[in-house]
Structure 1
Amino acid sequence: MFVAVLWGCNFLAVHYALGHFPPLFTGALRFLVIAIPTVLFVPRPKVKLRWLIGFGLGFGTGQFALLFIAMNIGMPTGLASLVLQASAPFTVLLGSVLLRERLSPRQLAGIVLAVGGMAVIAWHQAEHAVLLPVVLTLLAALSWAVGNICARQARAENGLHFTLWMSVVPPLPMFLLSLVFEGPAADWHALATLNTTGGWIGIAGFAYIVVFGTLVGSGIWTTLMRRHPAGVVAPFSLLVPVVGMSASFLLLAERPALVEVLAGLVVVGGVLLGSLPKRQRSADVALAASSS
C-alpha cells in the first residue's frame, strides 16, 4: 500500500516537474540521473542485450516520452494514473499474440471490460476536444506492455538490477528527441532558470520522481515480488489510480466527471479480473476491497 501511495503521488510530481522542464527533456534527465550511478556501482544483469534494450525502449523511452507529452498538453493528472493501467490488458494481449500464451475466458472478459471503460473515457474526453492526450496515454500504456514482454523474455535473476540497467537506454534517444522537437533553447532555459520559484518546484517534483517514484518505490516493489506470489502483490498496483485521482482532487482541484469515475471503476475491475490467478482471485479481491 505504501508503494501504491508513492506511485500515485508520482503523477503529482510529474505535473510539477513539467511545470518547469520540457517533457522529453524531463524524461531524459530522469533516466540519466539514475543511469550514471547504475553503470558505476550496479552489476550488469546477465540477460541478452536485445531484451535489455527492448525493455529500455518500451518501458522507459516510449512510455515516459508519450506520458509526459500527454500530461504536458492537457491530460489530467489523476486520469493519467488511471488510463495508464491499460498496460495490464495490453500485456496480456501481446503475450497471447507474440508469445502464444493461452488467453483464458476470464482474461478475455477482463480485457473487454477494461477496453470498454477506456473507450467511454476517450469518448467523454473527445466531447471536450481533449482526445489526443488520452490517445497518447494509451500509447504509453501499450509501450509499457511492450517493455513487459521484453522483461518477461529476459528472465532476469535480479529484477531490481535489470530495472536499474534499463535506465541506461532512454537518455540518448530522449535527449535527441528533445533537441529535435523541443529545441536546445527550451532545454537551456529550463536549466538557466532553476534558481526561481518555478525552478525549485520543478526540482522538487523531479527529485520525487527519481528518489521516491523510481528508486524507493521500485526497490520495495521488486523485493515484495521476489518474496511473495505475484498474485498477492500485483493487485495492490490497482490502488495507484485511486491515490493519483484522490491526490489530484485534493491538491490540483481536478474534478473528474461522474461518467469518468464510473468508467474508471470498470477499467480497474477489468484489469483485476484479467490479471489475477483464478485460484487466488476471491481472496485478493476481498483484500483489495478492504484496503480501498
Structure 2
Amino acid sequence: MSPKDLLSALIVILAWGVNFVVIKVGLHGVPPMLLGALRFALVAFPAVFFIKRPAVGFWWVVAYGATISLGQFVLLFYAMSVGMPAGLASLVLQAQAFFTLIFAAVILGEKIRGPNVAGLLIAAFGLAVIGVQAGHAMTVAGFLLTLVASAMWGMGNVITKRMGKVDLLSLVVWASLVPPLPFLALSLMMEGPARIEASLSAISLTSVFAIVYLAFIATMLGYTLWGKLLGRYPASQVAPFSLLVPIVGLASAALLLDEGLTSMQFLGAVLVMAGLCVNVFGGWLRQRLMPAR
C-alpha cells in the first residue's frame, strides 16, 4: 500500500473511531432521532444536486439507505441516548463483521470457513461477557440496541456486495435521501414538537460541530476514502484496518469522556478483538503454519 493510501486508511480509522465520542457529545444538546435527521439531511443536501446518481437500481439505493443509514443509526443513536457508552459502542458495533458473514452465507451462498467460525465463537463469548456486565456504566437496552444496529450494518454490507461495483460516495449521498423523513417522523413521535423546537432554537456550537462532523467527516469523507481503498486493494488487505476503529473509539472515549471499563468489560473487549483478529487473519495464519502439501 502506498504511503498516500496508508494515510487515507489512518484518516478513516481516526474519523470513525472518534465518531462515537462525537455522537455522545451531539446527544447532549440534540435528541437522538432529530440528530439523525439533521445528519443525513446534511449529507444529502446540497450534494445530491452535484453528484450523479449511482449506476444501480432505485431499490438498491433504498435498501442501502434503509439498512446502513437508517436502521443502523436509529438503533445506535437511541442506544447511546439510553446508556451505551461511546467506547463500548465502537467495539460492540464491530459485530457487523460476523453478521455480514452469516447474512452472506444465507443470502449469497458464500462459504463460512473454519477461522470464521472460530472468530465468531470467540467474539460471541466476548460479547456475552460484556452483556452480563449491563448495569456497570452500560444498560441492557443500550447493549442490545447496539448489537441489532451492527446486524443492520451487516445486512447493508451484503446489499452492497450484491450490488457489485458502485461509486460509494454517490451511493452514500443518494441513499442519505432515505433516512431524514423517517428520522423526523420518529422524532415527532418520540421526542415531540416542543423538544424539537427547543433543541433547534437553543442549539449550541458544540452540537453544530457534532452534526457537521457526523455528516462530512464520518460519513462522506470516511466512506469515500474507504471505498477508494477497497477499489484499489483486495478486501483482505483493507479489512484489517477496521480492527483499529474500536481501539481508537475506546481510547478517545477514555481520554475525552473519562469512560472506563470494568475488569470483566475489558476481558470481553479483548475477546471480541481476538475474535475479529482470528476472523481476519485466521486463514492466512493457517496457510503459513499448515502449507498445502
TM-score relative to the length of structure 1: 0.90
Deviation, structure 1 residue 2: 2.3
Asked if residue 237 in structure 1 is aligned to residue 246 in structure 2, the reply is no
Runs of 4+ displaced beyond 3 Å: 126-129, 279-283
Q: For residues 5 and 281 of structure 1, what CA distance do their matches in structure 2 show? A: 30
Given candidates 176, 179, 182, the residue that maps to 1:170 is 179
Return the letter of the residue paired with 2:60: W
Deviation at residue 204 of structure 1 after TM alignment: 1.5
The aligned counterpart of 1:278 is 283
Looking at structure 2, the residues matched to 129 and 44 of structure 1 have their Cα atoms a distance apart, in angstroms, of 41
Question: C-alpha distance in 1, partners of 2:31/2:286?
Answer: 42
| Change in 2 beyond 3 A, CA 1:134/1:32 | same
Q: Decide whether aligned partners of structure 1 residues 129 and 140 sit closer, same or farther in structure 2, where only a CA change above 3 A counts.
A: closer
Structure 2 unaligned regions, length at least 5:
1-9, 289-293
CA distance in structure 1 between the partners assigned to 2:59 and 2:273 by the alignment: 32
Residue 81 (structure 2) aligned to one of 62, 72, 75: 72
SS of residue matched to 1:125: coil
Q: Deviations over 1:215-273 (max 9, x none)?
A: 22222211111111111111111111111111111111111112212211211221232
Q: 1:143 matched to which residue of 2? A: 152
- Counterpart for residue 4 of structure 2: none
| Correspondence list, 1:38-77, <5 A | 38-77=47-86
Q: Would the alpha carbon gap of residues 69 and 281 (structure 1) be closer, same or farther in structure 2, given more than 3 Å must change?
A: farther
Q: Residue 69 of structure 2 aligns to a residue in which SS?
A: helix
* Distance (Å, rounded) in 2 between the aligned partners of 1:281 and 1:45: 39
- 1:275 Cα deviation after fit: 3.6
Q: Which amino acid aligns with 1:206?
A: I
Q: Is the 8 A contact 2:43 2:216 kept in 1?
A: no
* 2:128 corresponding residue in structure 1: 119
Alignment of 1:1-292 (within 5 A): 1-125=10-134, 130-194=139-203, 199-276=204-281, 278-279=283-284
Corresponding residue SS for 2:79: helix
- Which amino acid in the other structure matches residue 186 of structure 1? R
Q: 1:280 to 1:156 in 2, by over 3 A?
A: farther
Any idea what the Cα deviations from partners look like across 1:172-225, whole Å, max 9, x if unmatched? 11111111111111111111102xxxx121111112112211122222211111
**In 2: Cα distance, 1:200 partner to 1:127 partner:** 31
Change (3 A) 1:214 1:280: farther
2:236 and 2:138 mapped to 1: Cα distance? 39
SS in 1 for 2:219: helix
- In structure 2, the CA distance between the partners of 1:189 and 1:112, relative to structure 1 (3 Å rule), is same
**CA distance in 2 between partners of 1:166 and 1:277 (Å):** 34
Q: Give the counterpart letter for 2:74 in structure 1.
A: A
Q: Does the CA contact (< 8 Å) of 2:115 and 2:282 recur in 1?
A: no
Q: Is contact 1:84–1:138 with CA below 8 Å preserved after alignment?
A: yes
Separation of aligned partners in 2, 1:154 and 1:220: 19
CA 260–127 in structure 1, closer or farther in 2 if over 3 Å, else same: closer
Across the two proteins, how many residue pairs are aligned to each other? Answer: 279
